[in-house]
């Protein structure tokens, strides 16, 4: 739908914002805390006669005394004008054109002020029947840009011209009150972009804030709108939610608002009222482990997380295939893995490189019980062995019994010397019975040649 075709009910509600300017003497932001590359971009834009503001999460985090992950900039310069100023600039985006200023691996994102997409003079925006913005290349003023931002704490602008902060939506007050509050009518803003529901949860957990009552109220009802979001975008959002260092807490709050169920419908089938199913136990275990690894500065792999999360749904699907199609356990697991991953990728577009690793981790669970002969030594040499073992340990915590004993055997085997390893394998061979003897060939008597 073209913006000129929008009825008044479909057009977003424009909120009148009151500007509050906080002078340099009244806030705690120091340029020493802003990255050198971000300052270069700000000063060059300002020197060329354009407005230049540090905006969004960077301002919010600096005011909270935290180190921002990114430094985003807003300006009245168009993407083409920005590209003329910076040789190291690359323009990206279809839904809204952005400029990326490249300083090696450091990227400073610069956005032109956004305007209201129902203005008839700028025919470059598109909206769906449900109110979701499909294309949004509409430029405007800083006041309009502030009205278009999602949350009050993200609508503060640090002016490089005089080092003041322009607060358009009461963000300073909400920072002090520790509140996540949407700008404008929550129902309308969520319909414009349903991912804002996920962002509300993520900011609340990350900042340890509460979600303001009116902002929280429509989320559970509108959660199904996430089904209309492209799977590739939801994949990126899922990593932000679950691999940010607060994954376990985020999962529980997402589930409370019916959001996790939209991203992982296959997993949600196994949810219980008391959080007691193996699937739910594994979710708690793997997300807590991921949070710990991030806190310790260790590497994390999305494939491991997804493999663990989907393991018990995989088992249930395999059991069904064994009953209905009379498949062997191995064949059923292989077939079930196709079903489970295909279903999940329709919601969250997990890249193929990760689905390949997921399959390897699952296959190792089938191979690790088979340790006799040289098999244990060969398994240890596999690239994904450590991931397979770590997952086996998690399964042992949940399943106990034979699975836990198998995990303990592999833990000892890895840390043992060669002689000890050979003795462990020999014990396995002995416990399984004497090695099989070769069958003798039965020699057939040759028939006498006919005379």
Active site residues: 70, 72, 150
Pairing type for strands 98-103 and 156-159 reads unpaired
Q: What is the DSSP letter of 13?
A: P
Read off φ and ψ for residue 440, nearest 5 degrees. Answer: -75, 145
Q: Measuring CA to CA, how many Å separate 108 from each of 33, 54, 126, 349?
A: 15, 11, 27, 26
* DSSP calls for 95-160: SS-EEEEEETTEEEEEEEPB--TT-TT---EEE-TTS-EEEE--B--HHHHHHHSSBGGG-EEEET
Q: How far apart are CA 43 and CA 62, in angstroms?
A: 19
Range list of β-strands (E), 295-444: none
Q: What is the DSSP letter of 8?
A: T
Q: What b/e string do you get for 155-165 counting C-beta neighbours within 10 Å, with b at 16 or more?
A: bbbbbbeeebb
Read off φ and ψ for residue 17, nearest 5 degrees. Answer: -105, 145
The closest of 89, 59, 320, 319 to 164, measured between CA atoms, is 59
For the chain, what is the largest distance between any 2 Cα atoms, rounded to a whole number of angstroms?
122
The interaxial angle of helices 302-309 and 385-399, nearest 10 deg, is: 30
Q: What is the DSSP letter of 441?
A: P
What burial class does residue 417 get, using C-beta atoms within 10 Å of its C-beta: 0-12 exposed, 13-18 middle, 19+ buried? exposed
The interaxial angle of helices 247-256 and 195-207, nearest 10 deg, is: 130
Spatial contact of 26 and 63, defined as CB atoms under 8 Å apart:
no
Q: How far apart are CA 324 and CA 313, in angstroms?
A: 17
Q: How far apart are CA 339 and CA 319, in angstroms?
A: 13
Q: What is the DSSP letter of 2?
A: B
Spatial contact of 99 and 117, defined as CB atoms under 8 Å apart:
no
């Amino acid at each position: 739908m073209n913006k000129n075709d929008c009825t008044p009910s479909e057009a977003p509600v424009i909120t009148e914002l009151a500007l509050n300017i906080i002078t340099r003497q009244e806030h705690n932001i120091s340029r020493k805390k802003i990255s050198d590359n971000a300052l270069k971009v700000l000063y060059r834009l300002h020197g060329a006669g354009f407005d230049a503001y540090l905006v969004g999460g960077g301002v919010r985090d600096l005011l909270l005394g935290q180190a921002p992950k990114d430094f985003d900039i807003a300006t009245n310069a168009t993407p083409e004008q920005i590209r003329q100023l910076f040789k190291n600039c690359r323009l990206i985006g279809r839904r809204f054109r952005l400029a990326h200023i490249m300083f090696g691996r450091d990227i400073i994102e610069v956005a032109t002020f956004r305007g209201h997409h129902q203005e008839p003079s700028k025919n470059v925006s598109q909206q769906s029947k449900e109110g979701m913005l499909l294309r949004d290349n509409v430029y405007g003023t800083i006041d309009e840009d502030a009205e278009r931002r999602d949350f009050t704490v993200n609508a503060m602008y640090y002016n490089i011209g005089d080092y003041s902060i322009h607060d358009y939506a009461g963000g300073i007050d909400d920072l002090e009150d520790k509140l996540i509050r949407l700008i404008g009518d929550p129902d309308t803003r969520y319909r414009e972009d349903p991912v804002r529901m996920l962002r509300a949860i993520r900011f609340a957990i990350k900042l340890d804030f509460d979600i303001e009552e009116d902002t929280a109220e429509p989320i559970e009802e509108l959660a199904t709108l996430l089904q209309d979001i492209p799977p590739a975008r939801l994949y990126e959002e899922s990593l932000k939610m679950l691999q940010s260092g607060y994954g376990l807490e985020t999962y529980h709050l997402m589930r409370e608002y019916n959001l996790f169920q939209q991203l992982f419908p296959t997993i949600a089938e196994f949810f219980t009222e008391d959080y007691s199913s193996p699937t739910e136990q594994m979710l708690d275990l793997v997300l807590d482990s991921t949070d710990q690894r991030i806190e310790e500065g260790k590497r994390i792999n999305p494939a491991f997380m997804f493999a663990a999360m989907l393991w018990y749904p995989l088992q249930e699907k395999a059991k069904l295939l064994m009953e209905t199609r009379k498949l062997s356990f191995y064949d059923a697991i292989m077939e079930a893995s196709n079903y489970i991953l295909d279903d999940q990728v329709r919601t969250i577009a997990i890249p193929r490189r990760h689905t390949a690793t997921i399959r390897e981790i699952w296959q190792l669970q089938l191979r690790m019980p088979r340790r006799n002969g040289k098999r244990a030594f060969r398994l240890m040499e596999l690239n994904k062995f450590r991931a397979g073992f770590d997952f086996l340990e998690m399964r042992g915590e949940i399943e106990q019994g034979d699975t836990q004993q198998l995990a303990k055997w592999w833990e000892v085997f890895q840390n043992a010397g060669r002689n000890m390893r050979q003795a462990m394998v020999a014990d396995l061979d002995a416990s399984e019975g004497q090695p099989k003897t070769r069958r003798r060939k039965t020699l057939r008597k040759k028939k006498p040649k006919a005379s």
